[in-house]
Amino acid sequence: AQSVTQLGSHVSVSEGALVLLRCNYSSSVPPYLFWYVQYPNQGLQLLLKYTTGATLVKGINGFEAEFKKSETSFHLTKPSAHMSDAAEYFCAVSANTGGFKTIFGAGTRLFVKA
């Protein structure tokens, strides 16, 4: 079975500061990992994904995440926050266990202060 834990339901950063959103997962088989972003009253949009290969993955809007198997983590980072990054972010894990099922974390709301 898979599970996802996002540490911190709310994160606040100043504009220009580093963004770090934490995600830890549990999976009994090799996982596929995703970060999605949701703006108010909208659907989710894929930011980036890890399937196989390079463990540092780059996504849209300057975000990147690193898959660390030993730490079972997939933290999302961005070097410099912008006001437009304010949104809710969801980490998700999927695995082929005789069929794919995706488990979403509870989400982290990012606030960006001017």
Partner 1 sequence: DGGITQSPKYLFRKEGQNVTLSCEQNLNHDAMYWYRQDPGQGLRLIYYSQIVNDFQKGDIAEGYSVSREKKESFPLTVTSAQKNPTAFYLCASSTPGTSRNEQFFGPGTRLTVL
Catalog residues that contact partner 1 under the rule CB under 8 A.
9, 32, 34, 36, 41-46, 49, 51, 90, 92, 94, 96, 99-102, 104-107
Smallest distance, partner 1 to C-beta of residue 85, A: 19
Smallest distance, partner 1 to C-beta of residue 2, A: 11
Nearest-angstrom CA–CA distance, 18 and 20: 6
The three-class DSSP label of residue 61 is helix
Please, which residues bridge with residue 98 across strands? none
Handedness of CA 114, 109, 44, 105 (dihedral sign): positive
Smallest distance, partner 1 to C-beta of residue 104, A: 5
Question: Closest CB to partner 1 among 100 and 114?
Answer: 100
